[in-house]
Structure 1
Amino acid sequence: MIYDDIEDPDATSPAELREEYVADLAAIVEAYGVESVAEETGVDRETLESLAEEETGVADELTLEDAAAVSALDDDAPPADAIVAEVRDTLLLGMTTAVLDVDTIAAEIDDLDGKQVHQKVEGRSPMTLAEYATLNHFIASRQR
């Protein structure tokens, strides 16, 4: 699930992590059905259909909040707002543990500058599932 820790960052990549997140969400959409998930979460039906097909490109558009809303439908999952809070806490704590600042992260990640990383991690700017997978993997790989 998107809120689980990365056990061994060296054994995976951001792309593989993104695929894993999409597969987990796809299983939930398949179990509950596109219509039901759309009604419960407010996530666009077309996006949910892409998730059900496990199209990894959907991670570039799906926000962390929408992914959390879908994840929260799982019986064992916490509520969506708790998932989002846990994810953000994990990123911030990981940055502290790895002694990383937003500029260091931005220097290693294409397409994001320090200000954007800061805003996304704090929740002041939307973060896609793909961005989350990239940030989560990078931060986890630096925690040793």
Structure 2
Amino acid sequence: MSQSCVEYKENAALRRHSMWSSLAVDHLLGILIGSALLLHAESVCLWILTFASVITNELLRSGCVWLMGVPAGFKSNTELAGVLGVISIYAIQIWPTLWILIDFLFIYFIKGLGLLGILFGATIPAALITDMVSLATLQLFTGQSQSCIPGKYKL
């Protein structure tokens, strides 16, 4: 069924106005979020660093120590569990050390996100944050891809 010329023009105008309103809302949200990040960059950095420290120190380490014990009787080799647990705790300890090293650069990253939000809208900083989280958790993705047997599982 063909559309009339008037219906086609109405649909095209509706799509155009929808696109422009989406861009305007994106830019307004970017200005709001970016200016909030620029004004409160120190407190945002402190909150993120505290959150990362709590997750690393309390959640990951306590979970690793718990797994080195006897969780529900699933483990049969306590020596191997102890060695793997110590290796895991050492690997977990690397992250707070890296956070200390990038602590002075982190405020510039937050201010850069705020500036990008003001200039380009909210989607650019959101995409950059997702890319940074993907980069920070890259070891999880590489561990998953190496555990697959080639030829047996298809991706």
TM-score range normalised by the length of the shorter chain: under 0.3
Of Structure 1 and Structure 2, the greater helix share is in 2
**TM-score scaled to structure 1, two decimals?**
0.27
